[in-house]
Structure formats: structure tokens, C-alpha cells
């Protein structure tokens, strides 16, 4: 399969910790990445590789993945109100020629 599967929605109380997961065959061969997208804005890379954050991304964002395995996770520790957004995972597919995205997880901060 060339798809990545995410839970459609997750909610978390302000200040708590949330984990968002992504599953798919491509993740058994490639480390994926995670994107935050707020309404009307372009996606922003928040985690890439095993657990790397681009400059400017708060350290409350972290990533993990099972390797070998086909699951990746994004964890937000001490969730802030501004973290409410849609989160997408992606990776190369199992052939390496294409890129696939998960369907997205809408994070609601209570």
C-alpha cells in the first residue's frame, strides 16, 4: 500500500501531552516528516527524520518512529492553544519514486 493512515481528530487539554500517529508501508523504509497547517496557511515542517526540529520549532514538538516498522508518531508535550491545527505526516512511498501524505489529524485544544 502507498497510503499513510492517521486518526482524523484528536483533542487534548491545555498543558497536557498528545501523541499523533501515522502508519504506512513507506515508513518501514523511510523516516517521515510532520507538518502543521493552520487555516488559510501553508503547511509548516515541524519534525523530520528520526526526531529533528527545524529552526524556530519549539522543543515541545518531538517525533519517534519504529524502525524497522511502519509507524511514526508526533508528540506535543505541554500543548499550547496555538498548537491547535491540522497535522499531516508524509514519507516517500515504498518504491521511493513518489511521496505520500497521511489524511491529516485535526488537533483540538480544550
Partner 1 sequence: EVQLVESGGGLVQPGGSLRLSCIASGFNFNTYDMHWVRQVPGKGLEWVSGVTSAGDTFYSNSVKGRFTVSRDNGRNSFHLQMNSLRDEDTAVYFCARETVTMSGWFDPWGQGTLVTVSS
Give the binding site for partner 1 (CB under 8 A). 26, 30-33, 35, 37, 42-45, 48-49, 54, 88, 90-92, 96-104
Of the two residues 56 and 68, which places its CB atom closer to partner 1 in the complex?
56
How deeply is 79 buried, as exposed, middle or buried, from its count of CB atoms within 10 A (0-12, 13-18, 19+)?
buried
Of the two residues 4 and 18, which places its CB atom closer to partner 1 in the complex?
4
> What is the rounded CA–CA span in Å between residue 97 and residue 85?
29
Is the peptide bond preceding residue 104 cis, with omega within 30 degrees of 0?
A: no
Q: Positive or negative CA dihedral for 104, 25, 44, 58?
A: positive
> What is the rounded CA–CA span in Å between residue 73 and residue 96?
21
Of the two residues 102 and 109, which places its CB atom closer to partner 1 in the complex?
102
Give the shortest CB-97-to-partner 1 separation in angstroms: 5
Q: In the chain, how long is the greatest CA-to-CA distance?
A: 40
Give the shortest CB-85-to-partner 1 separation in angstroms: 13
Give the shortest CB-12-to-partner 1 separation in angstroms: 21
Of the two residues 60 and 92, which places its CB atom closer to partner 1 in the complex?
92
Give the shortest CB-53-to-partner 1 separation in angstroms: 11
Amino acid at each position: 500500500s502507498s497510503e499513510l493512515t492517521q486518526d482524523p481528530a484528536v483533542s487534548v487539554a491545555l498543558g497536557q501531552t498528545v501523541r499523533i500517529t501515522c502508519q504506512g508501508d513507506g515508513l518501514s523504509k523511510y523516516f517521515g516528516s510532520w507538518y502543521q497547517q493552520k487555516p488559510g496557511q501553508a503547511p509548516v515542517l515541524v519534525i523530520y527524520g528520526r526526531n529533528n526540529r527545524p529552526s524556530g520549532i519549539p522543543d515541545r514538538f518531538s517525533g519517534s518512529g519504529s524502525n524497522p516498522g511502519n509507524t511514526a508518531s508526533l508528540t506535543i508535550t505541554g500543548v499550547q492553544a496555538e498548537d491547535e491545527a491540522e497535522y499531516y505526516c508524509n514519507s516517500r512511498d515504498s518504491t521511493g519514486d513518489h511521496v505520500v501524505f497521511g489524511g491529516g489529524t485535526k488537533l483540538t485544544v480544550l
